[in-house]
Structure 1
Amino acid sequence: MDIFSLTPEEFVETVGTGTIVHNSGDLFGDHLRAVQNVLRDWNLGKDLELAGLFHSIYGTEGFQDFQLSLDRREDVKRLIGERAEFCAYCNCVMDRATLDATLSAPAGEHKIKARPDVGGHEIALTDEQLQDLITVHLADWLEQVEREAAKVNERHGWLKEGDAWGYRRSAYKQMADFLGGPAQEAYKAVFAREPQSTRHISQIYTPKLQAPITPKIYIQ
């Protein structure tokens, strides 16, 4: 199959995202399209919409039940463009603690690190690239947090219903405040629906994932 004859949406479906259940409980492919739609609603342009569609295509620190091989990066760049692919790549490989740390760095000095399992290398970000990354990263969480909070997820340390609301709470608020505009308004709308009973919960780290519950799809 000539993948370049496919639309990005068709490519995502073709590689099998519709056969894997995402952390949020939806099919992985449905979650990818939903994040794309969040970004479309924020009216931030096609590049960020495509970054949203591919935001976890290589697997992430919090979801590794599906991974398109990083050897396919050039194919993905040709399909969605360098800006969108770089944003998705960073969202996939980063150690999220390093993203949270760089939010407070001075302009022009932003950097994240890849997780050890994907090289552990440092990735310098321009101010614009940081804005792209936190926009997509925040959209991803806002799209799913309510579903995540409705259930237990022991792999993420959420041992009772509602625990997910506290996941990296201060970092997500900092991202929303940094971005302002539609992203901040969406953040306020989602977190206004959080029950009072969980608003004290704060989980500042991402637990190391154990073996996936569902079989991993690793696509070369």
Structure 2
Amino acid sequence: MRRIDLSDDGSPASGPGRAARWPGVEEFLRARGAGEMPHPGGTLLDHLIRVARLLGEWGADPDVRAAGLCHAAYGTDGFDQALVETAEHALLAELIGERAEALVHLYASCDRGVVYPRLASGRPVVFRDRFTGGEHTPPEPDVRAFVEITAANELDVLAHNAELADRHGPALHRLFTRSRDLLSAAAREAVGQQLGRYAPMRGRGAGSPV
């Protein structure tokens, strides 16, 4: 299967790995309207590119970076504007690879209200699919990739919207603190630097540095 390889900075690389149908992942996302959708920090496409770049800075592997670049393709529990129908999964898989597409679907299908609390309540983590209502237990590498992409996504959103940061910062700090074992060291450091101000004051609540 031919696919788009990502360079170290998270951007699509040229060469024989490029898919025949689209000149690149960014072009595909732009053709689906990501370049016109408003999003904190500019457009949805701007956000997707920054998330992929941040994952690259954290040392994520190519599949995780590709999933980060396309993480909103099917819409998400927090952003319901889909660029690609789930029935088109083969098209996205052809573009970025089967594992990356599977991670995009895992991210998109997550019922956050159910899954986020479970990230703090033991392992393995049982996911609830918001599309089907079914539950399943992804393998640990996929859960780690999910949490890493979640951290990159949320940190970028909060960095570009102070109101959202103040509203959701404390809850996200708790989430990533309680799921810190699933984050890379670089992601934990980034979370601590950006969200540390939302940590409970010493002696006034649970929580530990991420």
Q: 1:33 aligns with which of 49, 64, 81?
A: 49
Structure 2 residue runs without a partner (length 5+): 1-18, 205-210
Amino acid corresponding to residue 126 of structure 2 in structure 1: K
Matches within 5 A, 1:136-155: 136-148=149-161, 150-151=162-163
Q: CA offsets per residue over residues 127-179 of structure 1, 9 Å max, x none?
A: 1111111111111111111323x23xxxxxx6xx8223234431122233432
Q: 2:29 aligns with which of 12, 25, 30?
A: 12
Contact persistence 2:120–2:175 (CA under 8 A): no
User: Which portions of structure 1, spanning 4 or more consecutive aligned residues, are displaced by more than 6 angstroms?
Assistant: none
Amino acid corresponding to residue 148 of structure 2 in structure 1: T
More displaced stretch, 172-181 vs 38-47: 172-181
Matches within 5 A, 1:4-153: 4-22=21-39, 24-104=40-120, 106-107=122-123, 109-115=124-130, 118-148=131-161, 150-151=162-163
Residues of 2 paired with 1:114 and 1:3: CA distance?
A: 32
Residues of 2 paired with 1:162 and 1:99: CA distance?
A: 22
State the TM-score, normalizing by the size of structure 2.
Answer: 0.77
Contact persistence 1:55–1:92 (CA under 8 A): yes
Post-superposition shift, 1:105? 5.3
Contact persistence 2:107–2:146 (CA under 8 A): yes
Residues of 2 paired with 1:119 and 1:30: CA distance?
A: 30
Amino acid corresponding to residue 102 of structure 1 in structure 2: R
Amino acid corresponding to residue 101 of structure 1 in structure 2: P
Identity within the alignment, %: 24
Residues of 2 paired with 1:85 and 1:182: CA distance?
A: 24
Structure 1 residue runs without a partner (length 5+): 152-157, 201-220
Contact persistence 1:138–1:175 (CA under 8 A): no
SS of aligned partner of 1:18? coil
